[in-house]
Amino acid sequence: MSYRAPVSEFRFLLDHVVGFQNVAETSRFAEATPETVDAVLTEAGKMCEDILAPLQRAGDLHPAGLENGVVRTSPGFDAGYRAIADGGWMAIAADPDYGGMGLPMAMVTAVNEMMSASCLSLQLAPLMSQGQIEALEHHASQTLKQLYLPKLISGEWVGTMNLTEPQAGSDVGALTTKAEPNGDGTYAISGQKIYISWADNDFTDNVCHLVLARLPDAVPGTKGISLFLVPKRIPNPDGSAGVTNSLKVVSLEHKMGLHGSPTAVMHYDGATGWLVGEENDGMRAMFTMMNNARLGVGVQGVGVAEGAYQHALAYAEGRKQGRTENNSITDHADVRRMLATMRAETFAARSIALACAVAIDMETATGHSDWATRAALLTPITKAFGTDIGIEVAQIGLQVHGGMGFVEETGAAQYSRDVRVTAIYEGTNGIQSMDLVGRKLMDRGEAAYRLIDEIQADAEAARTLHPDLGDPVWDACETLRETTEWMVENGTQDRFAGSVPYLRGFARVLGGHFHLKAARADPNGRHARLARFYIHRLLPEHIGLLAHARQGADDLFAITMDDLAA
């Protein structure tokens, strides 16, 4: 499929909307100059356009398969992966001491979006490695770091994340995988894991699995879970991949989409593993990887939205119908509405993701706790809103195609099938919303209020020159503040009952904020016109969403299961 990397859009957002200049001004990221950012994004964009995008359909039409215990990947994926690895795109933000570039997460986010837009099935492989690299950097012993990080960063080896078990699902604390000490500093890992993305491949020397397991006599629940690094092949003393470990791919899932990405059931039978972090502290270490992945998955949604939009726009411009100015369906009001919605929603979700990445970078550079809480607040919003928008934009893209959208040969349906799982994995979007109103408001809403204050101050400053844009954003922000106060003052069940519309309403206001900033930076250009569309037509949805969020749980649980019976 054809794809044009939106490098100029990333530059505009970094320069004028999400505050990336603050990152570049720190000593930690002083090398992230405008020239460096341009060079990195341009080269990554070329790779995505020329090498990855042509693999999109190949992965869908020729899925990964399992032959005699060996995973066979889709045609061309080996060359695509090698282009990612050889270009250094596996670990842009990784520690330079181990071969990484040490660049900001905001740049990683932009590159990940472009890879997701061009070929989401293949992009999942480096995304898993990125998360594992970060987890090892923060929690692994020096010995493990020196052995595994250079291999993962170079792309010689890839990483995975093994959390889910058949009986446990999202209740990670119910896992039963066992870890028995071998007496030599290693552990014997036994159990089964499901839904393991890129659990194996036929183009790297080794696959490194991060596995959650329970030590003997560990306490029940999440407090008794430890994290282990379990390689497919046990490294030799010289660091090369050695003998095969006692683990195997049992089967590959037959999925709705992402056919080029092998998703496996994994079985561990006394496999040799090494402890990462402290005993019974596995969830803390794994959450480092999961939070990285949640930002990454939100960006996957944005990437698919961009890809689906470009695909729909090209079709609409070439679809001749009716006697109109352009003699194409783009002159029909409803088609123009759909295209504008796709464009405006993608901009909003992209801005939120980049703002989250900037907060992570500022916390890394300054160590200031306010940036850490800002990143934590934005992470569930980025994940849930980014993936919801990916799904919705892909669906609109089908509608733009009309009947041809329902025909697989056009490729429009693939975006919808591929992106659908992003709202489910790495914590369902319902779990993200519960996290937002639960853990992220445990500070009595202080982090949320700081962000709301910033949005409202910016809207106030815009009122003089842009009252038609500043006033609605200020009013929406006030409603968000009142709803946040309601969330802080009410009980867990009431908060959870309204958590999904609250997160969506929060994202709606954030989208208005970033569109307003773009309009102020480009007052007579396309960003101002797009901002007017979003603020006048989409932002008003916050009223119903936040009213829903404040309803509490009583009426919800007054509905009995008999009422819901088929």
Q: What is the pLDDT of residues 74-118, one digit of tens each?
A: 999 999 999 999 999 988 999 999 999 999 999 999 999 999 999
Answer yes or no: are the C-beta atoms of 32 and 110 closer than 8 Å. Answer: no
Task: Report how far apart, in Å, the C-alpha atoms of 162 and of each of 165, 212, 245, 381 are.
Answer: 9, 6, 16, 24
Residue of 506, 491, 489 whose CA lies nearest to 548? 506
Which SS3 state, helix, strand or coil, does residue 444 take? coil
Give me 149's structure tokens.
């990080």
Residue of 57, 55, 40 whose CA lies nearest to 5? 40
CA distance 307 to 390: 9
Strand pairing category for 157-162 and 206-213: parallel
Phi, psi at residue 557, to the nearest 5°? Answer: -90, -5
* H/E segment holding residue 65: strand 65-67
Catalytic option among 35, 408, 426, 489 = 426
Give me 140's structure tokens.
């692994």
- Give the largest CA-CA distance in the chain: 80
- Residue 16 is given by DSSP the state H
Residue recorded with tokens 């729909």: 312
- What pLDDT does residue 287 have? 76
Answer yes or no: are the C-beta atoms of 375 and 290 closer than 8 Å. Answer: no
CA distance 292 to 510: 21
Residue of 53, 119, 48 whose CA lies nearest to 89? 48
Count of CA atoms in the C-beta half-sphere (13 A) of 425: 22
- With left for phi above 0 and alpha for psi between -120 and 50, is residue 102 left, alpha or beta? left
- What pLDDT does residue 413 have? 97
Hey, CA dihedral for 423, 426, 430, 435, is it positive or negative?
Answer: negative
Residues of the chain short of pLDDT 70, as ranges, are: 1, 324
| 426 has catalytic annotation | yes
Give me 554's structure tokens.
């009583």
CA distance 223 to 505: 34
CA distance 496 to 351: 26
Give me 288's structure tokens.
């480092």
* H/E segment holding residue 17: none
- What pLDDT does residue 1 have? 65
Q: How many residues does the chain have?
A: 566
Give me 325's structure tokens.
């100015």
CA distance 528 to 513: 12
- What pLDDT does residue 91 have? 84
What are the sequence ranges of the domains in the chain? 429-566
Digit-coded pLDDT (tens) for 480-512: 999 999 999 999 999 999 999 999 999 999 999
Q: E strands within 109-225?
A: 157-162, 178-181, 187-197, 206-213
Give me 355's structure tokens.
């703002």
What is the CB neighbour count within 10 angstroms for residue 490? 16
- What pLDDT does residue 51 have? 98
Q: E strands within 219-276?
A: 226-231, 233-235, 241-244, 247-252, 263-276
Q: Report the CATH fold assignment for 429-566.
A: Four Helix Bundle (Hemerythrin (Met), subunit A) (1.20.120)
pTM of the model as a whole: 0.96
Residue recorded with tokens 């088929």: 566
How big is the chain by its Cα radius of gyration, in Å? 23
